[in-house]
Each structure stands twice: as C-alpha cells, then as structure tokens.
Amino acid sequence: MTNFSSMAKALRSSEIRRLMSLAADPSIISFAGGMPNNSLFPIDIVDKIWLNLPESQKQIAFQYGPTSGYPPLLAALTNYLQSRGIPTTDGSLIITTGAQQAISLLSRVMLDEGDHVVTEYPSFIGALAAFSSCGAILDQIPLDEEGIEVEALKKHLDAANHMPKMIYLNTHFHNPKGITYSAARKEEVLSLLENRSILVLEDDPYSELYFNEKDKVATIPMAATNDGRTPLCYVGSFAKILGPGMRLGWLFGPKEIVEKCELAKQSADACSSTLTQVIAAEFLMQGKLPPYLSPLRKIYSRRAQLMLTALSKHMPKEVSWTTPRGGFYVWATLPEHINATDVFTIALSRGAAFVVGSAFDPAGIRNNCFRLAFSHTAEEKIEKGIAIIAEAVKEVLAKL
C-alpha cells in the first residue's frame, strides 16, 4: 500500500498546496510555478506537424502503443541521447508519462519500506513524494554552487548503518537551487560511488535551457561519463522542450532495471499517450527542436537577467541568491531565523508569490529559503514582483 503519511508529509499537502492555490490567482505576480510561460509553446509547429501527418499515422496516434514507447520516438530519442554523449547501446530506454512517472516507476521497482535514499538539499518535491510514497527514508546532503557536497556525502556513506539504495541528483540548472554541477564535481561523485552498488538517479529536465552557448558543455550528463562505475538511470522530459501537457518523459538505464520499470508501467497505465508520442517523434525527426530552442534560450536568459538585476536593486543585504546559467530558477536564502512563510504571507497580500523553502527540504522543516521561477512571468512584471517580495522581506526583518 502507498505510504500516505510519508507522502503527505513530503507533499506537505495541507500547507504547501494551500499556499500554491493562493498563488494561482491571475492578479498575482507569481514566481511559484515551475512551468514554461503559455506564450512560449511551439503551437504553430505542432499544428503543422499534425496537419501534414498521413491518415495512417493519425490512426496510429489514436491507438494503443507498446508499453515501452512508440518505436519512432524511441529511435529519435536514442539519436538525441547519443548526441548528448550517452552510450545508448549499454542500456534500455522507455517512454514514460512525464519524468514524474519515470521517478515513480523506479521508486516502485527499487524501494522497499524503510530503504534509504540520498537526496540533495534542497530537492525536487515530486521526487521526494515518489520516494516517500514507497516508504523510503530520505537522507539529505547539502548542495553548494558546484553540486552535492562530496565530503559530506562520503562521510554519510562511510558512517551509514543503512546503505542507501539510491541517490537522486538533479545535475543541471537545478530545481529549486538553480546551480549546475561542475565537471569536476560530477567526476568526484562518480568516483566516490564506484563499486558501492548505489543506483544513481540523474534527473535532467532542464539541460537544454542553457543561456549561453558556451555553457552547453556544462550540461554533459553524468550518464555520459559514468562508464559503468555505478548503476545509473538517466531521466529526461519533454515538458520543458515541447510542453508539459504532452506528459512525456523517458528513462534510460541498465536493462534489468528498465525492464522491471516497463513491467510496472504495464500495470500502471499500459502506455503513454500515443497521440502526444507521435507529435514528439515528428518534432524530433523533422529537426524542429534546435530552431525552437534557440530563441527560447534567449527569452529565459533575459528573464533570468531581469530577475537578477531586480534582486540586486531591491533586496536587502541580508538576502543572498544563486545565479543560474540556465533553466527556470533562482534560490534565495534569508537569514537563518527568518521564516519564508512570513515573507510569503505579506508578499501575497500585496500581489507577488513564490514557493517557500520547506517544500524542497526532504525533512519538510528548513524554511529560511525560497524558490523564484522566472520561466512563467511576463518580463514587464518581473521587477515589480521582486520589489514586492523585497519589501516583504524588509518588513519581516524589521519586526525581529
């Protein structure tokens, strides 16, 4: 049975969901949702793809497909993964109903009640919920600007009574912290994990969204350089490069693990939407991804810059924040004694919102941080929203 008490704790449903629903009011300048802006989807491209599809392929789109995925999409994705340096002949690939399902299937396949999973602090709430729903115990290791703190990880593994079954890493343009693992750090982590039989789950949904071409090299996944040192599953998503409404992600990893996930998927939802898989396959095969991403990267880069400039201009000196080189997020840190929910409450009453840090704490406690997503907010509103939040921070600071 699903471990609801753990999962509900991880989702902090009563509290976080309440705060998120407040932030959904369209009159609010919201930096809460980790999603693309509605105006940025490749609707015209997809319209053309659909219109030009032969009838026989539309019929396939309406039909059941193989549980592992629509074969032309698997083929196109294999090419894509190879272009990212991943040795695809060394493992198996399946399509999943969003990256969330890949994480969920892997959790169900790997984790028993009471198993330990190492996560970063802070970490992605959806993954924390999936691990917790299987009754896993979450051991958190802090992140610095270059990735998970290797010394702390080593100390943890050397001292652990319960060796973790899995370690969950979000390597590029981190959600929520906005940082990117350095090449050196990736290497240190892989060396440390060598021969320990701990499964690495590398979750990489944002890697295509680098702001500058020179940072493309920073997005070489651990899956490309692991070279068999440790079992590793690589999870990706079409949510940020086509649209979350497609509900398409993927899982690449060791054959024996991915085959179990495929079996679990068979009873979970039989297959992912063939209709959206046909669209995604054409999107890749017709070479639509690079010309779509090129302007998109500039747009996100500009939004990030606007947010960083606004933070510098408005935030009091007690607040620090990360400087992302891609993705959707800035992570802001308040003095330790400040509760981000107090800031949230004031900011919301004046028309701006974000997600409080406790949502990303595997233990659900630490709350002197918050996540700002710049991906979803119109450029002209970013500074105004940040100014509101900065005023709220100042008020909370003044009260103490």
Of the two residues 66 and 335, which places its CB atom closer to a second copy in the complex?
66
Contacts of 178 (CB under 8 A, 6+ apart): 322, 323, 324, 327, 329, 330, 331
Region at 202 (left for phi over 0; alpha for psi -120 to 50; beta for the rest):
beta
The CB-of-372 to a second copy minimum distance in angstroms stands at 18
Dihedral sign from CA coordinates of 355, 361, 363, 368: negative
Q: Which is nearer to a second copy, 65 or 221 (CB)?
A: 65
| Pick 100 or 171: Cβ nearer a second copy | 100
Nearer to a second copy, 201 or 222 (CB): 201
What are the CA-CA distances from residue 237 to residues 24, 129, 205 (Å)?
24, 18, 5
Reading the block at residue 6, the tokens are: 């753990």
The least CB distance from residue 132 to a second copy, in Å, is: 8
Quote the radius of gyration of the chain (alpha carbons, Å): 21
- The angle at the Cα of 92, spanning 117 to 78, to the nearest 5 degrees, equals 115
Cα 90 to Cα 252: distance, rounded to the nearest angstrom:
10
Choose between 239 and 310: whose C-beta lies nearer to a second copy: 239
Distance CA(107)–CA(308), nearest Å, equals 36
How many other C-beta atoms lie within 10 A of the C-beta of residue 297? 18
Nearer to a second copy, 175 or 276 (CB): 276
Nearest approach, Cβ of residue 184 and a second copy (Å): 33
Q: Under the rule (CB under 8 A), what is the footprint of a second copy?
A: 1-2, 4, 7-8, 11, 13, 33, 35-36, 38-39, 41, 43, 46-47, 50-51, 55-56, 58-65, 96-98, 100-101, 104, 108-112, 126, 129-130, 132-134, 239, 242-247, 260, 263-264, 266-276, 278
Q: Measure the CA–CA gap between 255 and 365, rounded to whole angstroms.
A: 38
In angstroms, what is the minimal distance from the CB of 205 to a second copy?
Answer: 12
> Is the Cα dihedral 173, 174, 176, 179 positive or negative?
negative
- Nearer residue to a second copy within complex by CB, 29 or 242: 242
The one-character DSSP state at 270 is S
Minimal distance, residue 79 CB to a second copy, in Å: 23
Q: CB 97 → a second copy: shortest distance, Å?
A: 4
To a second copy, the closest distance from the beta carbon of 164 in angstroms equals: 15
